[in-house]
Structure 1
Amino acid sequence: MSSVHAEIPYPQEPKQPLLLLVDVSGSMTPRIIRLVSGLKLLKEEILKDDVAKRRVEVAIMAFGGNNDESGVRLVQDFTPVEKLDIDYISGLLIPGGLTPMGNALLKAIETVERRKQEYKDQGINYYRPWIWLITDGYPTDIFTPTDQLLILPGNHIIIIDDEVRKMMQEEQIFSGINNPTAYTYKDAGTVPVYLRDETISKLRQRPMADITKYCSNDLYNTVVSRLKAGIEGKKFIIWPVVVGKPGELDLVLGFMVLRDCIMSKVDPSRPPVWLEDTEQKWSAMFQWLSTSIKLTSTSKPGETQKLPDISGWAQIKVV
């Protein structure tokens, strides 16, 4: 981990802190290369602006592995963009394990608050920090289903009770194994199932499972409380992005948990967005991020900026 210098570079300039909070759980393995390319693009674009490159400071925090705070690590502390060593950082983004997102959010808040205090100690003005969350799944430390769930096409999630289980046993077909029609979920494990269209239609008539009831432990309550206080107090902004390909179960659950359990309670105006896992969409997201962070960092502190449209890379609904 890179250390923070006692003297903050360019102290005459107000600072725009950007903390990239990155999921490196096992499922992120095929996505890391696109993430690293995005980081390189972010650095290149910000360095093109003589003002932004002196004002934007970037930190990178990774979470994945153990399902507690030990699974969260500050890969790069806040530093001017020009000092980011992307090749070194990429070697530390090693995917594996679970997704301790709740613990990661708490550490991210602590990190931006600590940096703000360092600015204050040195008499440096600053803009509201951004926490840019990138994940491809659900937080395994604050989302713990006690029921077995069935995820149907169209992201319709129901509880598997005895009646549903009987229907599945009677109607499941074992053809087209390369194209499962639904998934079951329990204990952080998923199993593809192959159901006939008529069976799916019957099952879709059952009410959606209430995802929020599975987010109820002490850590979850702390995360929501800290996020809500920080956002309402205008201490930071959080941008939640869920990445994945259509039909991926982790993507669906992650999107629903972030939307229904977290963002709807702390900042309904900023729901999670879906980033389709393609090189083009990753590049477009980091291009948008670099453009937007340059806009805010070159404005007057406290001035509201109209940011570019996100439709080129983000969707507000998972398909």
Structure 2
Amino acid sequence: MANVDLLIRLEDLVTNPTPRVPICLCLDTSGSMEGEPIEELNEGVRLFYEAIREDETAMYSAEISIVTFGDIPQVIVDFANIDRQPDVPKLEAGGLTPMGEAVNLALDCLEKRKQEYKDKGVDYYQPWLVLMTDGAPNGSRRELERAITRTVELVESKKLTVFPIGIGPQADMNVLAQFSPARSPLRLQGLKFREFFAWLSQSVSRTSQSTPGETVELDVQGIKGWAQL
């Protein structure tokens, strides 16, 4: 099945050569997210998919991947065009918070997809990594340090845009800050996942209408609708 999925994803790069915006959502689905938080996160992701699907430019450019970390980090959705992802995945909460392992898995997925773009001659925009957590990492310290180092190197070489988002009062903002040398991490207002993903979809839309390599200014005013500033 994995080989079939890979062939479909590679075929899509040939039939649809539009420059891509790769977005990896690295999402905390540990046990502390159970109940309303995971329900609101699911609704936010669903609305994100819906907004991208309704945008005539972004629907051909945006490629979404979802990596979750609860008991173990796993790729719930691999990179693919939105029309190749008809079903929005349902996330379930449980387990611990192996953040470092999850970010390394997300970066591996991004690097692999970038190589596929290059092999097929498809241009792409700077990849995005959205990291959301409601706690502190409790996986391998070595993996966490490796993930931070890799992320910072990519950000500083302008090969990655990272959005670290804390959920609730227990989110370790100090750890999130280590992933982001360019901008401070932000804490979500309450459970405003829908507002965040609406802002994210608008940002993806603006990026997909620009030229690869061009700097796209973020909607700072829009951030006020979902973040504690």
Normalised TM-score (structure 1): 0.65
Q: Which residue of 2 aligns with 1:272?
A: 185
Q: Does 1:128 align with 2:132?
A: no
One-letter amino acid matched to 1:293: V
Aligned-residue CA RMSD (Å):
1.8
Q: Which residue of 2 aligns with 1:56?
A: 62
Structure number with the higher helix fraction is 2
CA distance in 1, matches of 2:116, 2:193: 32
Contact 1:36/1:86, CA 8 A, preserved across alignment: no
Q: Which residue of 1 aligns with 2:44?
A: 38
Deviation of the 1:134 alpha carbon: 1.2
SS of 1:79's equivalent? coil
Deviation of the 1:276 alpha carbon: 2.4
SS of 1:7's equivalent? helix
Deviation of the 1:12 alpha carbon: 2.1
Q: Does 1:256 align with 2:165?
A: no
CA distance in 1, matches of 2:184, 2:81: 29
One-letter amino acid matched to 1:224: I
CA distance in 2, matches of 1:86, 1:308: 29
Q: Which residue of 1 aligns with 2:95?
A: 97
One-letter amino acid matched to 1:38: G
User: Any stretches of 5+ residues in structure 2 without a counterpart?
Assistant: none
User: Within 5 Å, which residues of 2 pair with 1:1-319?
Assistant: 3-4=5-6, 5=8, 6-9=10-13, 10-30=15-35, 31-65=37-71, 71-87=72-88, 89-90=89-90, 93-141=91-139, 217-244=141-168, 248=169, 250-251=170-171, 254-259=172-177, 262-263=178-179, 267-278=180-191, 281-309=192-220, 310-316=223-229
Question: Structure 2 vs 1, CA of residues 95 and 136 (structure 1 numbering), >3 Å: closer, same or farther?
Answer: same
CA distance in 2, matches of 1:282, 1:45: 14
SS of 1:227's equivalent? helix
Of all paired residues, the percent bearing the same amino acid is: 38
Contact 1:39/1:86, CA 8 A, preserved across alignment: no
SS of 1:98's equivalent? coil
Deviation of the 1:224 alpha carbon: 2.4
CA distance in 2, matches of 1:269, 1:118: 27
CA distance in 2, matches of 1:39, 1:223: 24
Question: Structure 2 vs 1, CA of residues 220 and 133 (structure 1 numbering), >3 Å: closer, same or farther?
Answer: closer
CA distance in 1, matches of 2:144, 2:52: 35
User: Any stretches of 5+ residues in structure 1 without a counterpart?
Assistant: 66-70, 143-216
Q: Which has the higher contact order (CA 8 A, sep 6+)?
A: 2
Q: Deviations over 1:203-243 (max 9, x none)?
A: xxxxxxxxxxxxxx433332222112211222211110111
Q: Which residue of 2 aligns with 1:178?
A: none
Contact 1:127/1:301, CA 8 A, preserved across alignment: yes
Contact 2:203/2:219, CA 8 A, preserved across alignment: yes
Contact 1:27/1:96, CA 8 A, preserved across alignment: yes
Deviation of the 1:138 alpha carbon: 0.9
Contact 2:16/2:60, CA 8 A, preserved across alignment: no
Q: Deviations over 1:232-279 (max 9, x none)?
A: 2222111101112xxx4x23xx123222xx13xxx433111000233x
CA distance in 2, matches of 1:269, 1:12: 31
